[in-house]
Structure 1
Amino acid sequence: MKSIMANLWHPVKGVRICDLGEKRYSFQFFHAMDVNKVLKDSPWTFNNHFLVLYKLELGEDPLQIPLVLTPFWVQIYNIPIGLFSDILAVQLGNFLGNFMEHDVSSLGKGNRNFMRIRVQIDIRYPLKRRKKISFGGKCSYVNFKYERLSLFCFYCGRLGHNDSFCEERMNLGVEIAEMGWDLSLRAQSRRSLEMNSIWLREEGDGDNGGTNAESGNLRKG
């Protein structure tokens, strides 16, 4: 575990990792930029399980800190045209958990037909799948997809286990149970969404001396 996480993070000044027991570890970084980068790029996983990170303050006992909050980038689909706004981003973020930020860097380009927000989620509760919104006397449902979503339960919707090891399902006492969650909650990787063709021009790009060509009008010589 130590070597794997150190190689994933590759901190410039290094990291010291200690097993504290009770499925807890301490990660000691030696430069603020290293720890900030790790926190900024979270969530992280090890063996398909989430690492819930917490930045300790002076005097805090790492064995007493409740590790229940983790940030996620969430993609929100099926938002009606004209409703994309910072206000809606905050409202939906606080519905999911605690709103952190709204990514508007490339909205409307490529495949960005969705809203992307970062939220802090309490892992003790089921992942939210959708939300009903009202506009202009009409109603619509928006759907949520979570980036870097690893192990979660299709029965109870919680992180950290699958339906074969779900205590809630076991307490139900049945072999076959209806699954309310599925892989549709898992978003495509950000890299695959942002892969645009180098030959593709977006609306508003300059001509830069380009030549328009119509079918059948290309000639040689």
Structure 2
Amino acid sequence: MDEAVPTRKIREGRLTLVGKLFQNPKINFLAFQNTMRRAWRLENVTFSFLESGIYAITFMTEAELLRVYETGPWSFLSHLLILKKWEPDMSPHRYEFDMCPFLVQICGLPFEWLIEEVILRAVKSLSLVMDVKVDAKGIAAHKIGKAKFLLDVTTPLKSGFIASKGGKKLWLDYKYERLLDFCYSCGRFGHYANYCEEVEFKYENLETKDKCLYGRWLKVQVQGHNPFMKLFYGELKEEDIEEEIIPETLVHSL
């Protein structure tokens, strides 16, 4: 096949991402294309259907491809879009779509711990860590530790990490950027708590969030601490808890 594949097809492959929506939902292909073009602010990106819900997404330039690939994760109608870079001589069904890059912020770090080595140790239990950094947040230049890692979308999210130094232990919150809705019972993507087949969902547990293993507090945009922090340190100040935790099933029923 060496002489059969033209050079122009190799160049096209280098400008292509291979994508699949998590759990392969039935969608309107035209709406999917239009929505993603608007989200990426690109008019000339081309979508091609390959097989089994797998798409080839071809860009005009490598810069456009890298911008989309590195600023994810992306979603369509609350379905996670997992993107992979094109690989030569790879059949579509051989791409694996269980891993997706995510950004996580580590909250609760003492200010002297805000260095890359400490951040790496605080997130290495999540999965393969791709990048760590100390970032400035907000007008007051409040510094936060964050990391990009490969999340296995078939496994439960993790809420945080217990760190120790000199015999002293601290609880560190994980907060995920661009986190989609997920199951508050088992901590996985793809369904809501009242449809969970692994962990029974009990509405009475929502009377106090101390009984909830997962919730909206795992999202960066939701203010307030993880309930595990309260369990670890005791009562928190009232002003630290800014938002009542509401089950995602109730939010979507309004």
Larger Cα-atom Rg = 1
Could you tell me which residue of structure 1 aligns to residue 33 of structure 2? 2
Q: Which amino acid aligns with 2:65?
A: V
The separation in 2 between residues aligned to 1:111 and 1:123, in whole angstroms, is 32
- Alignment map for 1:13-162 (pairs within 5 Å): 14-106=44-136, 110=140, 112-162=142-192
* Runs of 5+ consecutive residues of structure 1 not aligned to the other structure: 190-221
- Cα 1:175–1:110, aligned 2, differ >3 Å: closer, same or farther? closer
Q: 2:124 aligns to what SS in structure 1?
A: helix
* Runs of 5+ consecutive residues of structure 2 not aligned to the other structure: 1-31, 206-211, 223-254
Identity of aligned residues (%): 28
Q: Which amino acid aligns with 1:141?
A: W
The separation in 2 between residues aligned to 1:37 and 1:124, in whole angstroms, is 26
Post-superposition offset of 1:78 = 0.9
Kept after mapping to 1: 8 A contact 2:136/2:143: no
What is the number of residues matched between the two proteins?
184
TM-score relative to the length of structure 1 = 0.75
Q: 1:110 aligns to what SS in structure 2?
A: coil
More helix by share: 2
Kept after mapping to 2: 8 A contact 1:52/1:67: yes
Post-superposition offset of 1:52 = 0.8
Q: 1:114 aligns to what SS in structure 2?
A: strand
The separation in 1 between residues aligned to 2:138 and 2:194, in whole angstroms, is 40
Kept after mapping to 2: 8 A contact 1:76/1:142: yes
- Cα 1:137–1:127, aligned 2, differ >3 Å: closer, same or farther? same
The separation in 2 between residues aligned to 1:89 and 1:175, in whole angstroms, is 34
Of residues 27-36 and 39-48 in structure 1, the stretch that sits farther from structure 2 once superposed is 27-36
Kept after mapping to 2: 8 A contact 1:78/1:143: yes
The separation in 2 between residues aligned to 1:70 and 1:89, in whole angstroms, is 20
Q: 1:38 aligns to what SS in structure 2?
A: helix
Q: 2:142 aligns to what SS in structure 1?
A: coil
The separation in 2 between residues aligned to 1:182 and 1:74, in whole angstroms, is 15
Post-superposition offset of 1:74 = 0.8
Kept after mapping to 2: 8 A contact 1:53/1:70: yes
The separation in 2 between residues aligned to 1:90 and 1:175, in whole angstroms, is 34
RMSD (Å) for aligned C-alpha atoms: 2.3
TM-score relative to the length of structure 2 = 0.66
